[in-house]
Amino acid sequence: MKLPEKDVARFVRPIGHCGVTEACLGVQRLGDDPMSVFQGFPQEPGEVAAQLVFGGCQFQEAGQALMGGAKWPMMWLQGDPCDGKHVAGLQALLLKGASIRRLQLDGAVVGSAWSDEDADYCLLAGIMPSDLSASRSDQARQVFERIETVLRQADMGFDDVIRTWLYLDHLLDWYGDFNVVRTRFFEERGVMGKRVPASTGIGARNPLGSAIVAGALAIRPKHKGVKITLVSSPLQCSALEYKSTFSRAVELEFPGRRQLLISGTASIAPGGESVHRGDTAAQIELTMKVVAAILESRGMTWKDTTRAIGYFQDMKDAPLLAEYCRANGIKDFPVVNAHATVCRDDLLFEIELDAAVTCC
């Protein structure tokens, strides 16, 4: 069933390699029907490896029913400022030509594992704490430990993780405590001296009311032709300098292609301070310049973007991103916009982005 364009905007960016096609699918609601993003999902060939939904928790049951029960890993999120009466959009990774093995935690499907000639892959979504009555810090620790538990089902460890997504309820109340937990866990696992994952850490509620829900991407290369490299930001300092334990970006280099995973990025100056307080348009402009510089440093441009999520403190500001793209010649930008709380109360916008190019 194809929906009228007035109801949804759809973005599909395929990446083919080794007989496997990855397709990044994004659907943004445009009309009044909150369920429109689920109609006929996914409408594209392939099997869903994982899905991310931004919308009121009250729509979860009906949304999953429209998707045939959605028996794949899923993170359903409701942004802190959101009134819960809308579904903003969704993203999903579809795989064609790969045999997916589902991974479970407490009886729920929370991961997909697959392989090609170059590497083994594991994508997790919806990792929850084991004890929702525990303190926020303890719940954060539990989530990292449970990521490890699921990865072991795919014969992987935390040192194979290259990207995380961390959604914290009431983030501004405990982001500092969360960073203490994350840093300590990374130190214990030897991550700090090896490869700190790229990440998004943002404020959003979840249907079960846990303090945190998480996702992760892990990769284990099969040969020396696969390289995983941390990428710095030409216009920003390392996040480690202000005690936020993540890398600005990670590049995956395979025979014939390169993929760039850019962490959640906001309006932060080279010295680590927030810039353009109270001015969303100016924050968007600086943030996009920072991301563009990362892309350029790896020989990529906006046209190589395969997916993006724009996080807004106030969704009324979302048209400002579209205006920036029009003014700067960024066409067919595959972004899904969502309510969220950024990690500082003076930051109004954040964006995460993936890009890919083929090479000889």
pLDDT at position 82 is 65
Mean pLDDT taken over the chain = 94
Whether 1 is in a domain gets the answer no
The mean per-residue pLDDT over the stretch 232-258 comes to: 92
pLDDT at position 2 is 43
Answer whether 229's CB lies under 8 Å from 253's CB.
Answer: yes
Higher-pLDDT residue of 28, 193: 28
What's the chain's length in residues? 360
What domain count does the chain have? 1
Which helix (DSSP H) or strand (DSSP E) does residue 335 occupy? strand 335-339
Per residue in 51-71, pLDDT (tens digit) is 999 999 889 999 999 999 999
Question: Residues of 96-127 as b/e, b for ≥16 C-beta within 10 angstroms?
Answer: ebbebeebebeeebbbbbbbbebbbbbbbbbb
The mean per-residue pLDDT over the stretch 178-192 comes to: 95
Per residue in 271-329, pLDDT (tens digit) is 889 999 999 999 999 999 999 999 999 999 999 999 999 999 999 999 999 999 999 99
**Other beta carbons less than 10 A from residue 346's beta carbon:** 15
The mean per-residue pLDDT over the stretch 215-230 comes to: 97
Please tell me what DSSP assigns to residue 134: S
Whether 3 is in a domain gets the answer no
Whether 34 is in a domain gets the answer yes
172 phi and psi, to 5 degrees? -65, -20
The contacts of residue 271 (CB under 8 Å, 6+ apart) are: 237
Whether 86 is in a domain gets the answer yes
Q: Computed from CA positions of residues 138, 144, 145, 149, in that sequence, does the dihedral angle turn out positive or negative?
A: positive
User: At 70, which amino acid appears?
Assistant: A
Please tell me what DSSP assigns to residue 341: B
Helix, strand or coil for residue 293?
helix
Whether 2 is in a domain gets the answer no
Say which CATH number the domain at 206 has. Answer: 3.30.1330.40
Residue 1 confidence class, pLDDT cut points 50, 70, 90: very low
The mean per-residue pLDDT over the stretch 24-43 comes to: 92
Q: Is the pLDDT of residue 83 over 90?
A: no
Domain limits for position 76: 8-358
Whether 264 is in a domain gets the answer yes
- How far is the C-alpha of 35 from the C-alpha of 63, rounded, in Å? 7
> In what order do the strands lie in the sheet containing 108-115?
8-17, 20-29, 87-96, 47-55, 74-79, 198-205, 161-168, 212-221, 119-127, 108-115, 101-105
Whether 293 is in a domain gets the answer yes
- Side-chain-side CA neighbours of 194 within 13 Å: the count stands at 13
- How far is the C-alpha of 58 from the C-alpha of 60, rounded, in Å? 6
Where do we find the tokens 């309820």? 169
The mean per-residue pLDDT over the stretch 151-162 comes to: 97
Q: The whole model's pTM is what?
A: 0.95
Whether 46 is in a domain gets the answer yes
Q: Is the pLDDT of residue 204 over 70?
A: yes
- How far is the C-alpha of 154 from the C-alpha of 279, rounded, in Å? 45
Q: Report the percentage of the chain scoring pLDDT > 90.
A: 86
